[in-house]
Structure 1
């Protein structure tokens, strides 16, 4: 049904809330990309089937007036390491690593007999955590932007409204002027969550002041950093929150059209956004004369082809226009001449998702979270050599130690923490000396790092930092659009040097050349991505220079990551002379006699490792 005015929205909201309350139990099956890959949709279907077999009322779309059990495909719950996940409300049970065969027990014990299935719950040090919020992974989080992810049906317009959705939009439409909305965002000091941290309200105000009949709102969902999936999870789990934020931005800047640019590798996010946009149109929250307010606004989805450079604003708008995604020289800025040369607000997914919360709760509420110059929360994707990988949200200013050791559960297999790559290829590596560093825009900038979109890749003592630098430089060089020489040629030269170093052919002069090239690229590249392309190399050279020296002087890689710098040897004490290694060696590099210790001819050895795997006595190892 179409909602024609404010009164009808209030009535619809009240009915939706009542329907949600009638769901005395709710089963929220994680249907984020990770859990879907683990079989969560089959689990969702099986739970529905079992509930129907027990002749219980299954409520899927908040359409029954009778009391029933709500079964929902939610967005990402965050605890990706433990998926597939199933949450039961109102008890807030969280079941981990759920399999199809567990569904019968979940339905019969929890939904019918009100008993928790304790074997599926998180446990540590002889304690079973029944409530999700008590689990250490969640306990120190402050989930605001991610609040709906994992707690509502990600594909339901009605459920979003029942949770207070579109109240912020109605507030700005009927109680605030555009300049008041801009000022509210300015007062909140919301800084863009896409990387640079530019104040969102200031950007909106600049677009509002532009003398143009046509203006655009563009949402950057082109999340290309390795290990990052924050924006994807928000689009999958709470698409209406992004749409409402864009609507508010449209009203605040007197824009009438919006575009969400999403990489095509996010098919589930695209699908959920498409459903949400269609539902919003059907209910009158997108289109002409929204709620009879005189404000008209619509949104389109554009799918990107996966170019990392299209995360840069001018390259992104060029891609929407049908041109090759390449950045342009500035000025003019996007707020003056952006999409189709018209004034454009360009913010990322998480920034827009914060907007309805600020309007509903007030600027002072938002400033009360985190430090003064970087208020609010930030979503991070924590991956790598950490026990609890997943999607988290913490107040700005939370320390690295809290994120990695309290929420992330520390380093896998009891190993020592070595570094964390923050901000993706545009960011840098932080070390043990930075564990007490607060995660906010200004603190990270002081040490040569940046929040970026929010990816955190944790590394342990067995990680080769030279190889890490080579990996990120390889990524950046492959993704360079090629428009400017410093990025196109400079990153190629840097990659060649790094590949020479890990191959055991580097020199001390190469380290100086790397620094010189990094300085040139950062000073002269055309766009922000090019200027920060060398950051992983600069930061690893700064904090792990000894590893570089070891690679070029001693021709060694202490972590045995760089195969060209290692050697494979046979422990004569352990060798039983069985000849199995010699028989399996593809280049006949192993010599010896039966029942006597064998040796490896290092000039022939190609370091394939086949002999290590074949030895039953663990006598062969990397040295």
Structure 2
């Protein structure tokens, strides 16, 4: 792609898609002066209408936004959900990641290949692709069916088999249900639904997620009312005193982050809600967005009040069609009823609104600074720190970034007070935690337990492993986490105990593996995942993830101790010198499999 325009011409449909996407944001008084930040929404608009992004569509978009074609090409080619070469309107994304791999995802992909040809090769009016985790691990194996058109359609098939998958290849996705229609309790995702004692999950499956009236009747918006009455400083003190830490994996004290942003003299301030949960095995944020979306809106509004932000961006991963419908509806309803926009809840001068930005298939965009670049219309590559986001974040302004689960705790803290909140859990890990159980458990799903619950107790809640099977290991924290042995189930699930045990809770992934699990295959999948998802910006990660996978493949085949030594060397270099957490944690699970499980150190587990 050249820096100059080539003269490629957009079709009428392509121009209409781009122009409509840009017109929707034309009169936004809170937007930045230059609208390069509309590049990603416009790319989505073309992709949804046509199914791929042609040179003509890209050049029309670049002329409208005054972006060099080479720069826009670099952005469009960064995301796996977009195609810059002709593609059929109907595409099947078949998950072959960790949870789906343990549940038959490879067999599903093999069936697709037999009937539809190699992945990435069009077969008539359909094409299928191998996909990383789709975030429905509790219902594995899974696939996502997409069909472009004037009104694009998407459907998640989970669980699915070859018959259902191939039927979707012939007929396309079913029409997405009306987001205003109520649904039965989501017991398939939240086995605890309706049980007493739940806090973050108390409404999921029991309160209509599409009704603002039902949300208010269940206590909704009492927290925001209190936040307005006590003011931003007092809200931050409550959050600080509660001991709430980030639930996305880093566990940074939330109150400190809010306070640091609020104190910055430069304006405007921004709030970013990170809903791009792409860690294999993680699906808790999706469940909250689908099952209690008004709570997310309320929590973001409280956070906006506290940090002095008039605008919040909710960055949602692109593979969550139902969550997108639900949160769009909740934002529109809240805005219509005066809970968003100007003079929120009738309080003059309190202005706050939320804009959704969709990702397009890039795990790295879960990193807080990569989100900024993605929203701003650049490649989703992490930034070097310092400066930190609280000083220079989105659009170079002070920014707070929190994930969905972290924000879901905010109304609880405001409703019951910091002291009451902190009494649950342990002294250093307060409150409750959501864990995503998948793999070899009888009742997979999202579980809420107080910090301090043991791993064994959590697995018992999910029914343990299937009859006739024995637990071999648990992958804790996802692909960036570590393994725990079956004789270590007395591990208390707290930040401090996990750290002392040499592992991490991460984002809450608990993947149980029984005695029939292919652990070597799972390690190879983890290595391939990091190789694919590395943004390539820094050498240690770009080269290290490739070398790690190559050495692991040789080790699985031959068991050569020299490859073990090479793995350790490469892993340590990535951990010490990568720019962001992806490269720094890419070696974690493999290291723990070698050291904690003794895997691949003998002939056991080799192919």
TM-score (norm 2): 0.69
- Which deviations, in whole Å up to 9, do the C-alpha atoms of 1:76-95 show, x marking residues without a partner? 335568xxxxxxxxxxxx9x
Match of 1:374 in 2: 429
Q: After the TM superposition, which segments of 4 or more aligned residues of structure 1 sit over 6 Å from their partners? A: 32-40
Does structure 2 conserve the Cα–Cα contact (< 8 Å) formed by 1:477 and 1:488? yes
The SS at the match of 2:395 is: helix
Other structure's SS at 1:240 match: helix
- Counterparts in 2 of 1:420 and 1:178: CA distance versus 1, 3 Å: same
1:463 to 517, 523, 543: 517
**Is 2:601 the partner of 1:549?**
yes
- Whole-angstrom CA distance in 1 between matches of 2:287 and 2:527: 27
In 2, the alpha carbon distance for the partners of 1:527 and 1:345 equals: 18
2:578 equivalent among 513, 525, 537: 525
2:555/2:564 contact within 8 Å kept: no
Q: Which runs of 5+ in 2 are unaligned?
A: 1-134, 140-154, 160-178
Aligned match of 2:105? none
Q: Which moved more, 1:235-244 or 1:464-473?
A: 464-473
The answer to whether residue 444 in structure 2 is matched with residue 389 in structure 1 is: yes
User: In the aligned structure 2, how far is the partner of 1:213 from the partner of 1:319?
Assistant: 21
SS, match of residue 224 in structure 1: coil
Counterpart CA distance in 2 for 1:524 and 1:39 is 39
For residue 165 of structure 1, report the CA deviation from its aligned partner.
0.7
Q: How does 1:5-24 map to 2 (within 5 A)?
A: none
- Between the aligned partners of 1:328 and 1:446, the Cα distance in structure 2 is 30
Give 1:66-77 correspondences, 5 Å limit.
72-73=182-183, 76-77=186-187
Structure 1, unmatched stretches of 5+, are 1-31, 41-59, 62-70, 82-93, 95-131, 566-623
Length, aligned pairs only: 437
1:149 and 2:204 are equivalent in the alignment: yes
CA spacing shift, 1:147–1:78, aligned 2, 3 Å: farther
Name the counterpart of 1:338.
Answer: 393
Give the drift of 1:37. 6.3
Task: Tell me what 2:540 maps to.
Answer: 486
2:441, 2:464 within 8 Å by CA — same for their partners in 1? Answer: yes
Measured in 1, the distance between the counterparts of 2:581 and 2:217 equals 41
Once the 2 structures are TM-superposed, how far is the Cα of residue 501 of structure 1 from its aligned partner? Answer: 2.1
Cross-structure match for 1:162: 217
2:588 to 535, 539, 554: 535
Partner in structure 2 of residue 507 of structure 1? 560
Query: Is the CA contact (8 Å cut-off) linking 2:276 and 2:316 kept in structure 1?
Result: yes
Q: Deviations over 1:436-491 (max 9, x none)?
A: 11111111112222112111110012224333222211111110000111111111
Give matches, 1:303-342, under 5 Å. 303-342=358-397
Q: Which stretch of structure 1 is more off in the superposition, 311-320 or 425-434?
A: 425-434
Q: Matched residues in 2 for 1:374 and 1:383: separation?
A: 24
Q: Relative to 1, partners in 2 of residues 1:79 and 1:340: Cα closer, same or farther, differing over 3 Å?
A: closer
Determine if the alignment matches structure 1 residue 298 to structure 2 residue 346.
no
Distance 1:549 1:213, change over 3 A: closer
Deviation per CA, 1:338-383, whole angstroms, max 9, x where unpaired?
A: 1101111100001111101110111111111111101111111100
Computing the radius of gyration from Cα coordinates, the structure with the larger value is 1
Using the alignment, how far apart are the partners of 2:156 and 2:320 within structure 1?
Answer: 13
Deviations 1:396-421 (A, max 9, x none): 111000011x2011111332111111
User: 1:212-223 maps to which residues of 2 (within 5 A)?
Assistant: 212-223=266-277
Contact 1:75 1:236 in 2 (8 A): no
Determine if contact 2:559/2:600 at 8 Å carries over to the other structure: no
Contact 1:74 1:237 in 2 (8 A): no
Whole-angstrom CA distance in 1 between matches of 2:576 and 2:158? 48
| Contact map agreement 1:75 1:238 (CA 8 A) in 2 | no
CA distance in 2, matches of 1:292, 1:413: 58
The within-5 A match list for 1:389-428 is 389-404=444-459, 406-428=460-482
Q: What secondary structure does 1:549 align onto?
A: coil
**Secondary structure at the residue paired with 1:337?**
coil
Of 279, 284, 291, the match for 1:237: 291
Partner of 2:41: none
Give the TM-score taking structure 1 as reference length.
0.67
How far apart in 1 are the matches of 2:461 and 2:559?
A: 40
Separation in 2 of the partners of 1:75 and 1:363?
Answer: 31
Distance 1:75 1:324, change over 3 A: farther
| Counterpart Cα distance in 1 of 2:361 and 2:247 | 20
1:204 aligns with 2:314: no
User: Which residue of structure 1 lines up, in the alignment, with residue 342 of structure 2?
Assistant: 288
Q: In the alignment, is the contact (CA less than 8 A) between 2:189 and 2:287 conserved in 1?
A: no
Residue pairs, 1:542-621, within 5 angstroms: 542-545=595-598, 547-551=599-603, 557=605, 565=607
CA drift at 1:235? 0.5
Correspondences of 1:118-197 after superposition (within 5 Å): 142-173=197-228, 175-197=229-251
